Amino acid sequence: MSTQKKILITGGAGFIGSHVVRLFINKYPNYQIYNLDVLTYAGNLENLKDIENAPNYHFIKADIVDEKAMLDLFAEHKFDSVIHLAAESHVDRSIEDPLAFVRTNVIGTVNLLNAFRDTWKGNFEGKLFYHISTDEVYGTLGATGLFEETTSYDPNSPYSASKASSDHFVRAYGETYGMPYVVTNCSNNYGQNQFPEKLIPLFIHNIKNNKPLPVYGDGKYTRDWLYVVDHARAIDTVFHDGKNGETYNIGGFNEWQNIELIRVLIKQMDEKLGRPEGESEKLITYVTDRPGHDRRYAIDANKIKNELGWEPSVTFEQGLSITIDWYLANEEWLNNVTSGDYQKYYDGMYAER
């Protein structure tokens, strides 16, 4: 039986956060899990319907940018660990409104660090601040090479600059106040419950509805894709076995050029929708590129594999098939999140292209 813990998970109503909350609720009945989320457009309590009545689950609606609210919450609950996922997460939105990213990703993170520091006042035995970050902080790669934990930070978008800043604050609080921490930098996730502004769920939605597939630039940008449940498993591993003050890169050993990935997606979708093979390729539409678009991301995930024994559990084809099936079976979820404000965002974002 695992020991008791009181864990604050921020951003637990979002895409990755909801998978992390579910894994911890089901696997560790002795842990009290507090999901703190302000429920932006990307946060959705529907994502957690299956576990919302679990006795070890608690939801707190709050904004990490609210300094006093964070201090009060920590004073009341004395969380002994934090797994921090709450963030503004979409690169295109960061280009439109960088300050929103500074507020949540930088100021919000520092508010949590301060509240954690002030709660434990140097008595950090058995405590942990776990910060979830991204491979985008490393900037872009050429045709060869991989991001390693020692790769210099070189962020190119307001989103990645805000995440890089938050990573630096976490390390600085470790050095300055002796706070125990770990940071993980993960590659692109895909899977159930991802908001359909991101490539894979957006294209699933558009293929299904015979809408254009807006491919940025020449489509030859490369990403390293990881199934979200495997990211949640990696977070579980690092939370329990990661070493204080360390960074671990997490990736899928799974690089794809966007256009090649889109072709695989179309193949699986056409098959599942009963369309002739390749029929949806006609939807591919090249559009104006994203400014500052990073050419290639690829992760060397050998440190977490060799030191902590984690590796992905599903192949890309399997993960993609599970993901498509989920979106096809959960039309209501998709319709709910794509109505209203999202439609305005979509029309505005893609009209400019």
Using CB under 6 A as the binding rule, whether residue 120 contacts ligand DAU is answered as no
Give 17 or 242: the residue with its C-beta nearer to ligand NAD: 17
Which among 34, 57, 159, 327 is annotated as catalytic? Answer: 159
Q: Which of 40, 47, 111, 134 binds ligand DAU (CB under 6 A)?
A: 134
Give 194 or 206: the residue with its C-beta nearer to ligand NAD: 194
Q: Is-contact 51 57, C-beta < 8 A?
A: yes
Q: Which of 215, 250, 283, 301 binds ligand DAU (CB under 6 A)?
A: 215
Dihedral of CA atoms 89, 65, 60, 232 in degrees, nearest 10, equals 30
User: How far, in Å, are 106, 209, 266, 347 from residue 342 at the CA level?
Assistant: 25, 16, 24, 9
3-state secondary structure of 188: strand
Judge whether 136 counts as a catalytic residue.
yes
Residues in contact with 159: Cβ distance below 8 Å, sequence separation at least 6, in sequence order: 88, 89, 90, 91, 93, 94, 101, 105, 136
Q: Which of 28, 34, 57, 221 binds ligand DAU (CB under 6 A)?
A: 221
Q: Which of residues 66-95 bind ligand DAU (CB under 6 A)?
A: 89-91
Smallest separation, CB 218 to ligand NAD (Å)? 22
Q: Which of 63, 80, 135, 300 binds ligand DAU (CB under 6 A)?
A: 135
User: 256 has which bridge partners?
Assistant: 223
3-state secondary structure of 34: strand
Q: How many CA atoms lie within 13 A of 134 on its CB side?
A: 30
3-state secondary structure of 182: strand
Give 14 or 174: the residue with its C-beta nearer to ligand NAD: 14
Judge whether 332 counts as a catalytic residue.
no
Roughly how many angstroms between the first and final C-alpha of the chain, as a whole number? Answer: 54
Judge whether 159 counts as a catalytic residue.
yes
Smallest separation, CB 18 to ligand NAD (Å)? 8
Hey, which residues are catalytic here? 135-136, 159
Residues that bind ligand DAU (CB under 6 A): 89-91, 134-136, 187-188, 198-199, 202, 214-216, 221, 223, 258, 290, 297
